[in-house]
Amino acid sequence: MQDTVVNNKRIVKNTFFLYIRMLIVMGVSLFTVRIVLNALGVVDYGIYNVVGGITILFSFLSNTMAHASQRFFAYELGRGDIEKLKVIFKTTMTVYALITIVVVFLTETIGLWFLNVKMVIPAERMEAANWIYQFSILSFVFSMFSAPYQAVIISRERMSVFAYISILDALTRVIIAYLLLVIVYDKLKLYAVMQFIVTVGVTFSYILICKKSYEECRFEFNWDKKYLKEILGYTGWSFYGHASNSLRNQGVNIVLNLFFGPVVNTSRGIAFQVNAAVTQLYMNFYKAVKPQIIKYYAQNNLKEMHKLIYRSSKFCFFLVLIVAVPLLLETPFVLQLWLGDIPEYTVLFTRIVIVTMMIDAISPGLQTSADATGRIRNYQLIVGTILMLNIPLCWLFLKLGCPPQSAMYVVMVVSVIVLFTKILFAKKMVNLPVRVFFVRVLRNILIVTIISFIAPSIFLRISDQSLLRFCFTVIVSIGWTCFIVFLLGLSKNEKYYMYSLFKKKLMKNP
């Protein structure tokens, strides 16, 4: 019981640091988008979004390793085996080096051919597009070598360090946006170079901090067959899952480019800027919870693990819902206030992306429960294959003459199927009671969501669009949603815990 209390306090503390980070990073991201969009123009912004996406498409390899690293590091920390942790870190770095070589080869062959032969890019911007591509590859290489160090920090639940570096990263993006306005040079090329410089700085920050603070972060090649087999056995199937997720995100973007060109990529890129900002609302909480789920499994404490899965699924969704309600109701006004001129399809794309994100926000805890077991072959094979269906389905609908938004609807529907698939796997892999999950999580979420839209929707109908209406809509939406979440969304124990937490904070002497 005492360990559970300590773990809950650590989750709250880490979530606090991550949300401070989120507020700053989200504010900076949203602020700089308009500047960068105006500096680059609609076409160049779309080019950057889709060309950089080719490299991101290959980066599922680094995402796979980052995911695997966090699992193995957190598992060994849960068992208290530091010596094995040192060996696993060295082995992981060896695998990272090999994967980096593979990715560079793939991007400089298949990816480069696809960029110059298949992509729909104006001929006069092809040189700039190649600049973006090459600097994106370089950024990827540096990001690969920072990933295991980030994994150590997250596994050790030192979220303050992660937050500080992310804040510095965000602030440098403001400087980049300003330099785009004042430096007279090809803006697209300049943007690619400056983004690369920031990535290099962030990578060295993680490496230096980890080398100084954590004894396991000593890089040397390790070819221990036992650990290589263990890590590669896990990452082999994790690789498939992350490749599928990457194809869902960047593959759909490329399909849209092939049918409609870079202007539609700009609209989708803006929608995903909103997605990236709002996703932080639940991913920060999830980062704080994820190591605890894995550690509970390592300790064979499935009862506490199940409770944390229920809680994380609800809390991740509610954190998104609080912001999603006013955003969905006032999407046109928000985009106009943010961007000025709104590219075609942006409003609809943004709304579909937000709804899809709300669906995805329910499942991170379920995925972590599967990862914790290490037995992920069937899970990744089935979930990954369902995600892969996004590409042929999107291509089919667009080939039949459907509008661009049809691709976004396909992604949303597939996300629903994936969610229910993950629930069934959690039952099989960690004995998660499906009926309890439906009652405590899904039914709870559905009721809260429906009621949350009632009050702000009524207010919206009785007033005309204006800045004053927007401000009142935001206030009414957030206040009403928070009230409904507390009243109907939280269990008795969760309410008592939050009450105790706030009471403690209020009574604490300054």
Q: pLDDT for 18-72, tens place per residue?
A: 666 666 766 666 677 777 777 777 778 777 777 776 666 565 666 666 666 766 7
First-to-last C-alpha distance (Å) of the chain: 29
Amino acid at 506: L
The span from the CA of 305 to the CA of 370, in Å, is 12
Provide the 8-state DSSP code for 361. Answer: T
pLDDT digits (tens, 9 = 90+) for 263-318: 787 888 888 777 777 777 677 677 777 777 887 887 888 888 888 888 888 888 99
Cβ contact 257:119 at 8 Å: yes
Kind plus residue range of the DSSP H or E element containing 345 = none
Share of the chain above pLDDT 90, in %: 9
Amino acid at 475: I
The structure tokens listed for 65 are: 């390793």
Which of 2-11, 42-51, 80-89, 270-279 bottoms out in mean pLDDT, i.e. has the lowest?
2-11
- What pTM value is reported for the model? 0.68
The structure tokens listed for 330 are: 């006032």
Burial class (CB in 10 A: 0-12, 13-18, 19+), 332: middle
Return all residues near 232 (Cβ < 8 A) that are at least 6 apart: 95
CA angle 65, 68, 73 (to 5 degrees): 120
pLDDT digits (tens, 9 = 90+) for 185-229: 888 888 888 888 888 888 888 888 888 877 777 776 666 677 677
CA angle 176, 181, 183 (to 5 degrees): 85
